[in-house]
Structure 1
Amino acid sequence: AVLTSPSGKEARFPYRYIAAPAGAAAVAEAATASGTLSGPAAGGGKLSVSLANFSIVYRASDVSVTWGGSQVPVARLRRSDSASTEIVLAVPPGVPGVTLVTVHPAGAPSNAASFSFTYEDDTLPEVLGVSPSEIYSDGGGRVTLRLAKVDGGAVAADASVTVRFSDGTEAAAQGLSLSRPAAQSASAGRAVLTFDVPAGAPGRAQVEVSVAGKSPASGPVALTVIADPSSPPTVSLSPERGFCDGTLQVTA
């Protein structure tokens, strides 16, 4: 190419023509800041997408994005050349489940690429801790679960706990109690769920919890069931003898 000034001076530089992409584009990479293709149903955050075999574009508005049937704008066009096109999207709100996202140059729907984004239900309860994590197999042991994101109006009658034992049997827990620590923020939905574990086979058990019809996204809570001691406990004292002046400390 030649650039000529009004005075007749010329500047020459190379200019390369390339063939337009043929067929569909492809998603080379797509991820949020956490490195996943998922996020809360409330939306928010940025999603970076790298496309191959995509027509060169010069503005963010030159890219059309259909997110679950709705058009969303491109927040930023990072680069676009014959090697790749990189864009940034703001994740819109959605409903829990998988949503299809399709990207193509405006006016060229055949040069499209698609990927799936998963919305997580961020209203599901969250298990913060379990105590104790081991319990005897004769039943009656009381377990406490510390929970978050529990509906504010939920009471013990709204909760259910089922224990699946290692031998495949299952039984409903009894004596459920649901309380809310006064020191915890109400907005976090903190709650304490306690229950009595029924008798069952020793081994690793799975505790399925539901509060107000919602179960933790992390799935069942693991609980180790151990066999009852087969013999009476033994006691040893150290030291086994000493003076009777009342100053001796004994460890049992």
Structure 2
Amino acid sequence: MRMHDGGFISTVDTLVALQALTEYSYRARLRDITDMRVNVEATGEIGRASHSVVISNTSVSKMNLIPIQNVWGLVNVVAHGAGQAILQLDVSYGVDWTPLKKQPPVDAFELEVREFYTPFGNKSHCNIKVCARWINYKEAEQSSATVIEIEVPTGYVAFQIDLERSIHEAQITKTFPSLRDVIGGHGDVFAKKTVWFFDYIPSNKSCFTYLMKRWYPVANLTNVRMATIYELYQP
């Protein structure tokens, strides 16, 4: 996946960077000398106390999360002490007007996502149909390893067991045989999106369907949701 909390831009980048940082920490004996205090202050939270994080040699592997309530302005970070730490800022937003969306350098995929709500039970179930195909024929006849991320509507949950059943069905029926794995919701953990992993995306249009279930009612659901497709090892 890309842009995941606690990592770098992609899986491969994260593995290489963490290995390099680990080797460096051994040689610089960072674990022995680490004793830091990091103060984080957002201009959108003027009047509130700054967030303070203490990093010692017993908590170097602990990830600290700081929620920022008012998202605007600047984030000022001041660190005191000795050691090394990685700071990451996670920002997300929706764009519902096509001309404002970021465009890829090359049109490599066609992606279509459609939602079908059940007419009974106050839309308690929703079947999502996902279709994709590779169109960048100048580069290759099919893509390399690919990821599709699809946002889950508020109030709904896509359980892992239901998603894995969709993978099995896509492989048995050969509607999408390259579909390999998925990350969804587990028990009471509500994932904000489902993440699907493929060995490749073929040049012919291929589709699969998965199920979401309503967990609690929400009024005025938005008609706009985010779906992203990208090659795992490409920019």
Whether the TM-score (by the shorter chain) exceeds 0.5 is no
Larger Rg: 1
Greater fraction of residues in strand: 1
Q: Normalised by the size of structure 2, how large is the TM-score?
A: 0.26
Greater fraction of residues in helix: 2
Q: Normalised by the size of structure 1, how large is the TM-score?
A: 0.24
